[in-house]
A = this chain, B = another copy of it.
Amino acid sequence: MDHLKEKTLSTENIYDGKIINLRVEEVELPNGKTSKRELIKHPGAVAVIAVTSDQKVLMVQQYRKALEKTIVEIPAGKLEPGEDPMETAKRELAEETGYECENLRKIISFYTSPGFADELVHLYVAEGLEKTGDQHADEDEFLDVLEVSLDEMQEMVENQTIHDAKTAYAFLYLKSQT
């Protein structure tokens, strides 16, 4: 597949942020012409589908500044440097919902926006859930926890209350298991 490869001719670092970096690259295309690529570097993230013993899915409601609105998602968070994604998943689930789990099973990893970003999301199913404490999210993170049945999730997909890629995937995955 080397015939599709783009060679880097030059790289300009535009912004190094707290979470994302932006760089612009001049590339040589397979036909020898040049083009510009705007690229976001992201540390990667995890997301967790957690179903309680009474068959409710744990969801969080959170204001997303990029969208200027509050949306509903499954618990998720970005990887800390050197942290194993499974540990991140356990930590984020506990922080965002107050639930701990006996077991985590990896479902899939996917790139969210390969056209411009390298963010890779690792998706887990949490099994054997137990409420062990209260939500204690990061200091700049404010969220409400919801416990939602599959029927309610279906409605939320239909009325576009849920339209987040990882959460939509989680919904289809759970449906495929029933």
Please list the residues of chain A having a beta carbon within 8 angstroms of any beta carbon in chain B. Answer: 1, 3-6, 8, 14-15, 17-20, 22, 24-25, 27, 29-31, 33, 35-40, 42, 45, 61-67, 70-71, 73, 76, 78, 108-121, 139-140, 142-144, 157, 160, 163-169, 172-173, 175-176
Contact = CB atoms under 8 A, between A and B. Distances in A.
A88 to B, nearest CB: 14
Majority secondary structure, A binding face = mixed
Pick the most buried of A17, A20, A64, A164: most chain B CB atoms within 10 A of its CB.
Answer: A64
A157 B108 contact: yes
Contacts of A4: 61-63, 70, 142-144
List of 4 A-B pairs having minimum Cβ-Cβ separation, nearest first: A35-B140, A4-B63, A1-B70, A172-B172
B24 A140 contact: no
14 contacts: A1-B63, A4-B61, A15-B22, A18-B38, A31-B142, A37-B66, A39-B65, A66-B114, A66-B116, A108-B157, A108-B163, A108-B168, A110-B165, A110-B167
